[in-house]
Chains A and B, each alone.
Chain A
Amino acid sequence: MPKTRNDILQGTLDLLVLRTLDASGPMHGYAITAHIGRVSSDLLRVEEGSLYPALHRMEQEGWLRATWGVTEKNREARFYEITAKGRKQLESERESWSRLTEGVGRVLRYA
């Protein structure tokens, strides 16, 4: 598979997924991919193969809740929803992300 340059930075996938679910409510996996692509104007592309293991892991951590439901096109899909614990996690990830970008930005500017 060709390596794309806009692969999501390791460790930020959780942040993106949590933020997406927090903002837009329950979604299935494909919708999450599509949402991230759309909102980032296709700058970010979720590696589809790594999304599902990540979703399952986050579900296991208790950050997400998953239920089977039906899409508007009447297909069965697994919908993910953020939990209270997930929101807390989102906060802390968001914070560490802003620290990271600020730090990297400073280095780029002044170093």
Chain B
Amino acid sequence: MSWHHRLRNLFRSDRLIRDIEREVEFHIAERAEALRVQGMPEDEALRQARLRFGNRTVVREQMRDADIVTWADSFAGDVRYVLRALRRAPAFAVVAVASLALGIGANTAIYSLIDAVVLRPLPVNDPHELVQLAMGEKDQGYFTNPLWEQVRDNQSGFTAIAAFGETTFNTAGGQKQSIGGSWVSGDYFTMFGVQPVLGRLFGRADDVRGCSGTAVLGNGYWHAEYGSRTDVVGRTISLEGKPFQIVGVAPAGFRGAEIGGDPQVYVPLCSEAVISGSLSALDRRSNWWLRVIGRRQSDLSLQQVKSRLAAISPEVMQATLPPRWSEDNKREYLTRTITARPGEGGVSALRKRYTTALATLMGGVGVVLLIACANVANLLMARAAAREREMAVRLAIGAGRRRLVRQLMTESGLLALCGAVVGLFVARWGTQGLVALISTSTDPVTLDLALSRHVLGFTALVAILTAMVFGLVPAWRATRVSPQAAMKPTSRGVAEGHSRFTIGKTLVVIQVALSLTLLVGAGLLFGSLRNLVTLDPGFQPRGILVTGVNLRRTGIPAERYPAAHREILEQLRAIPGVRSASTSQITPIGHSTWNDMLLVDGFHASSQADAVVWFNSVSEGYFATLGTKLLAGRDFDHTDVPRGAKSAIITEELARKFFGSVAPLGRQFRTKAGDGLSEPLTVVGVVQNAKYESLRETSSPTVYLAATQDTVPGAFVALELRAAGEPQSLVPSLKRVFAATYPAATLEFRVLDEQISESLRRERLLAVLSGLFGAVAVLLSMLGLYGVMAYSVARRRNEIGVRIALGADRMRVLRMVLGDVARVVAIGLALGVAGALVSGRLVATFLFGVAPADPTVLTVSAAGLSLVALAAGLIPALRASRMDPAETLREE
């Protein structure tokens, strides 16, 4: 009875057992006494009494199960039992928990990003009432200020409506120190229903034309810059060199309506005029810089709000018609209709850019988790086989099968729980890494990644599901043993190994298939990234320092800007270490662009968009500095004087498309200027094609104008400096030059190489993560394969021993085991190819220069996987071939 006692102590609390035992003992004693009174001999009476009572173990189990308190108690017992069992098999426990932690952690990490970027509503009151206004379904939702004012004054159906625009403010003189800022209309804070932590937030009175500068600090900035001091209200902050009076501080947790942004300072819309002065966008009818969010009346549906907006649209559009547009464009403008869409999630460029990528990654981590589940299921099954005898004994002495399944499920649940807890740490670390991957110094991403109930709920759900997936089948199978098995002296037969195994091998087949799917996806994304990194953009970015210079605060008159730019350029060219230098309006693959329509005699555009090309305004030496080859004609030079004939240099692609010639030197074209046409421009040179906005663009026809002939010179200019050494090493000398000449100029330094690399961060994120998932998937699958094969060999010891004893040579044994591996891997790969074709299609939108079903990627992935599989299978195969038959047979 030692087993019996041990088991009883293992999974029950002693007090309850004693009580139930006492009650049953009492009953049997009473019955026996009654029988004795009827004249039965004493020991026969006791036997009869026991017989009548039935199976005591079953009754006790049922009594215990009837009791919730006991249930909880036996659960604690199960947990204790499982912990003890796991402590005896630490390797199993560690591998299982680590697999699950990786799987669950990766899922949680991606999910928490999706939650923060896509799913979570703004942290404001009743976010479901918020709607975002836009010009049509696909429109990005930008408004001009006159348009916003018209909407604000004519709308009905909103309890409040507000406009805002994202911007950056320079808070310092000299080298630029930008902080994120937001222009907001007077009702902005009231509409969101947020309360100040200090001072006050804006009201309507703050946002009236001609206002002086007032500012509300973002909570993060207040904390970081002012140490959360309470005396900031009433102080002033310098934004773009203008004083703004601080009136209050926004609450923690509120980061504006732009997800991923975190305005450090909010200023009223009207103060745009304070900063921009005569160039103010407030009355510009074609300056699209605001977004509009409204809170609809709770008794109106979104549909009703839409129809009210549609009703006021003609009037609003008529009132804001840009006077200098062409007649065609004006007609089109008047037909635009304002519409609305759900705005509870705020607005987000980040969301637009990353939703599909995150969904793709979520699919990837889902697959990783499945592979991890298969691994743990396999481990559990191998373990169950080793515990067959234990199960048989417990079934034989009356434990219910359900009871055993429950206990095994407790084990699975506990493993999943541990996996989830460790997984949360993995996720925490992972999400921070993810945000770092997509965040850059010029475009910082701030997300609220605190563990929300949402995310914890998701993790719990995933953990429960995984426990079900990997635990149920092994538990069911493990308890299917017959109680007789316990009686057999040794239950290991010669040929038993095969049958039990099919399910283990099936799991490995699935793992291999899923791994190949992930590997191919990763391979395609890596291939795309490599193509993007190695492609020739039409210039040589390495070694170039870009310096943005803004002269607005120097106080020199606007007409002197071109001369000042030239003067600066000459000074910089004199710095030792600068090989060549130039100026331009736009730097390639940066954040700003400039496009316009091109009119060429003899060229008929198929559509308006077909005639639109990129523009840039550059100094002489620009192409030499960037390393763009001049194919025909000349570079700009001293002959391109302001009042002379306007010169232009065009790209080869543009020359072919618009002029049908490789070197249309001397040919002329015009662009639009207001409603009319510009002066004619003469082509003086042709350069090679160069990427303009992004490395992904397939076509970048560009017109370069001479900086010396700029019609509306701006205060800003970008300087490209090709350095002899490290580009960053030029920064101190540059600062010295500016300190001596224009100390008030605002400077911004960037390395062109980095600027381009930043433009690929989504691609990099996808490639790095999918590569990581692929690697984890392969690792887990190979662990699974190794485990299954090692276990197979262990179970077939006798068989193999007999084979060797009967004369099978060792190569043959090796081949036999490896043959087994090959079969499993081959089936897995075959299935995996099908999966890979699907995954290729899913990532198709992210690919560049690689086909979704690229045969090379497929072949390399499959070959690599086979090789690793062979290595994983070789260890058990070698072990099998080195078996000493005498020893294995003796064990029997």
Contacts and interface: CB of A to CB of B under 8 A. Distances in A.
A57 B66 contact: yes
B31 interface: yes
A1 interface: yes
B23 A75 contact: no
Interface residues of B, number: 25
A32 to B, nearest CB: 10
Interface in B1-45: 19-20, 22-24, 26-27, 29-31, 34
Contact of B26 (A30, A48, A49): A30
Contacts of A42: none
A29 B62 contact: no
Interface string A1-24: 100000000000000000000000
B26 A75 contact: yes
Interface string B44-59: 0000000111110011
A54 B63 CA distance: 8
Interface in A38-93: 47-50, 52-54, 56-57, 59-60, 75-78
Contact of A60 (B29, B51, B68): B68
Contacts of B31: 30, 48
B67 interface: yes
A11 to B, nearest CB: 16
B51 A75 contact: no
A60 B67 contact: yes
A48 B53 contact: yes
Contacts of B59: 49-50, 52-53
A78 B34 CA distance: 18
A59 B67 CA distance: 8
B55 A28 contact: no
A45 to B, nearest CB: 10
B66 A60 contact: yes
A73 B698 CA distance: 100
Contacts of A57: 66
B68 A30 contact: no
Contact of B27 (A30, A54, A60): A30
Contacts of A56: 63-64, 66-67
A77 B53 contact: no
B26 A1 contact: no
B63 A49 contact: no
Interface string B795-836: 000000000000000000000000000000000000000000
**Band of interface residues on A:** 20 to 34
Interface in B196-229: none
A29 B27 contact: yes
Contacts of A50: 59, 62
B54 A77 contact: no
Nearest to B33: A73
Contact of A77 (B20, B26, B67): B26
B26 A53 contact: no
Contacts of B34: 34
A30 B30 contact: yes
Contacts of B30: 30, 75
Contacts of B64: 56
A52 B26 contact: no
A29 to B, nearest CB: 5
A11 B24 CA distance: 22
A49 B29 CA distance: 15
A52 B23 contact: yes
Nearest to B62: A53
A59 B19 CA distance: 15
A67 to B, nearest CB: 12
Contact of A49 (B19, B22, B55, B67): B55
Interface string B732-760: 00000000000000000000000000000
B69 to A, nearest CB: 8
A29 B62 CA distance: 16
Nearest to B60: A52
Nearest to A1: B54
Given A52-B24, A53-B63, A75 B29 contact: yes
Most buried by B among A30, A57, A75: A30
A50 B61 CA distance: 11
B66 A48 contact: no
A29 B23 contact: yes
A47 B54 CA distance: 9
Interface of B: 19-20, 22-24, 26-27, 29-31, 34, 51-55, 58-59, 62-68
Question: Which 7 pairs from chain A and chain B are nearest by CB?
Answer: A49-B54, A53-B62, A56-B66, A30-B30, A57-B66, A56-B63, A49-B59
Given A60-B67, A76-B22, 20 more contacts: A1-B51, A29-B27, A30-B30, A33-B27, A48-B53, A49-B53, A49-B59, A50-B59, A52-B27, A52-B62, A53-B65, A56-B63, A56-B66, A57-B66, A60-B66, A75-B26, A75-B29, A77-B23, A77-B26, A78-B23
